Chains A and B, each alone.
Chain A
Amino acid sequence: MVSLYETNVLNQLEEWRSMLLYSHLPSALYTIDSDKRRVVFVGIGSSYWAAKISEFLWREYINSNCISLQSYNFVKSPHYISPNDIFVVFSHRGTKTYSIQALEVAKKVGARTIFITGIGSRDNTAADIRIETCPQENCGAFTISLTSAIARILQWIGLFDNEILKDSE
């Protein structure tokens, strides 16, 4: 018997492909000069690992002016944030209290806020830009949401070639 967890892992390829080919990133994303500003990636749990991986990728391919933070730490301990920052929050369900609070803090400071979340997640944030990944997870151990969020970051960075994806169908 194949568990939901295994099914989700095996479905990742199809999910990434349809997301990258048929669901474009919001055009507003391309109006930010993201290569010239500091980018702060924030999350908790698996979303924190998404933030961490994004930080590595950003540093490798865009610029080294970026950090990743765990949302609880960000909210509970003073961190420097400027209106010139791009503040990226990962939350698949959109229900994580500290991640949402972190986003609100950044918004108040005047940073450009981006919310990377699952399709159908709660629309309870005032993020400037919302980027959707995959449908809501049906298993307690999240997998596809994490990798889909990373795929979105790769897409933003410009590391996906849609023609190749089409060819591999």
Chain B
Amino acid sequence: MMIDNIRLPIKIQRIPTYVTNFVIIGDLIRETISHEVALKISETCYLPVRSFGLEQFLHGPKVTIDKQTSILVFTSLIQPRRESLLTYAKL
């Protein structure tokens, strides 16, 4: 396994503007990543962050998001439910 660097492969263009509604979502093994990232943000930035498994989020907590919400999603292009989440979030 070659590890070249741990920098983000993309440049984040815009800093999220969330105040209190920041949601991190992941599917499968990435659900765990979402929980750990939420924990790190809470610990280092003292910000309230919620994290969910993707399917769990779609089964209820999705109704708590609004135009002020920032969502960070750890998923894969081959996961079909990814589209459901993105479609809902864009509405």
Contacts and interface: CB of A to CB of B under 8 A. Distances in A.
Contacts of B4: 168
A16 to B, nearest CB: 7
B5 A141 contact: no
Interface residues of B, number: 16
A160 B1 contact: yes
B65 interface: no
A13 B43 contact: no
Contact of A168 (B2, B33, B35, B39): B2
A161 interface: yes
A13 B32 contact: no
Nearest to A60: B29
A45 B28 CA distance: 19
A164 B2 contact: yes
A52 interface: yes
B3 interface: yes
10 contacts: A17-B3, A46-B36, A49-B32, A52-B32, A53-B29, A56-B28, A56-B32, A141-B39, A141-B43, A164-B1
Interface of A: 5, 9-10, 12-13, 16-17, 45-46, 49, 52-53, 56-57, 140-141, 143, 146, 154, 159-161, 164-165, 168
A9 B6 CA distance: 9
B44 interface: yes
A54 to B, nearest CB: 10
A56 B1 CA distance: 18
A154 B1 CA distance: 10
